[in-house]
Structure formats: structure tokens, C-alpha cells
Amino acid sequence: MTKNISDISLIESYQGNKDGFKPRGIWHFEITRADGTVEKHSVENLVVSEGLDTVASRLVGDTSSPFGFLAVGTVTAAASLGSTVTGFGEVDRKAASIAASSNEVGVWVATWAGNTDGLTGVDLMSAAVVNHASSGQGTALNIALPVSATLAASDFLKVQVEVQCGSY
């Protein structure tokens, strides 16, 4: 999206509204161990600039590259508004099940298996919603940490993320 002078002033007028709506992501991580025990935790974080730019682009008609993939990585540094798709140490990416996309909230779900997905012993610390099937490609919508999961051979990691894009 090319910005002209009037675009810049319009964007700045919205950025000044600190009491307004702020898009956010809520991530749910569920690890099922081989012995049947289940560990769960959730984290809330921000939607990064790269993702917000893409959401804004979609609002004006570009629907060629939907966010349909979840990825996991190893980076432990906190994501920031300027984080990108190459900044979370990606080790694997999957097409997500789109559990919902209504009431201004999108919900994505994917599951990884320790041995099957080659993640046994990998310290998974970060995750992202992205819009491209290939590792290291596309745009990140939301990047979260900590995932805090190290899978054994028969363990599973279920990742569910909810991204609120409106005030509903």
C-alpha cells in the first residue's frame, strides 16, 4: 500500500487515539505427553505492524494471500511491533484449520507431533500466524512467546490462536 501525504496524516490521526481499540492475539498451547498428561498455558500479545499493514491492505480489496498457516520457532526474544516472519527462529510450518472467522475474530488451530514432525527435543519458544506455505516466506500477522514446549517422540503440541481485529 503506497502512502501519500493525505494517507500519512490520516494514519497519524488514528495513531493518536490511545484509548481506542488495539488488535491483539491470544495463544493457547496444549501439550499431550505420551503418558496421557496434558499441560496447558495461554499468552496474550500484540499484532505486529507487518500483520496490521496486511490487514489494512485486505480492507481495501487485496485478498490474494490469506493468513492460513501456523508456524513454531525457537527464538526467546520478545516480539515487538516491528517483528517479521523471519524473526522468530522458525523450525516448522503447517496449514491451519480455520476454526472460526466471524465477529471480528479469527481462530486458527494446528497440531505438531514430536517424532513425526521432527521436533523431538527442540525447545519451541515462539509461534506465528503467517500467510505463506513456505518457511521464511510471506507476512507474519501475530508472533507469540513463550510456547515453552519441548516434545518427546510421542508428545503432541496443539496450538490455537485467536486474533481480535475489531472491537466486538
Interval 70-81: pLDDT, tens: 999 999 888 888
Q: How high is the pLDDT of residue 166?
A: 60
DSSP string, 101-168: EETTEEEEEEEEETTTTT-BT-EE-EEEEES-SSTT-S-EEEEE----EEB-TT-EEEEEEEEE-S--
Interval 89-116: pLDDT, tens: 999 999 998 766 665 677 889 999 999 9
Q: Is the pTM of this model over 0.85?
A: no
List the chain domain ranges.
24-164
Q: How high is the pLDDT of residue 30?
A: 95
| d(C-alpha 67, C-alpha 69), whole Å | 6
Instruction: Indicate whether 157 pLDDT > 90.
Output: yes
Interval 120-141: pLDDT, tens: 999 999 999 998 999 989 988 8
Per the prediction, the chain carries an average pLDDT of 80
Interval 35-53: pLDDT, tens: 999 999 999 887 887 777 7
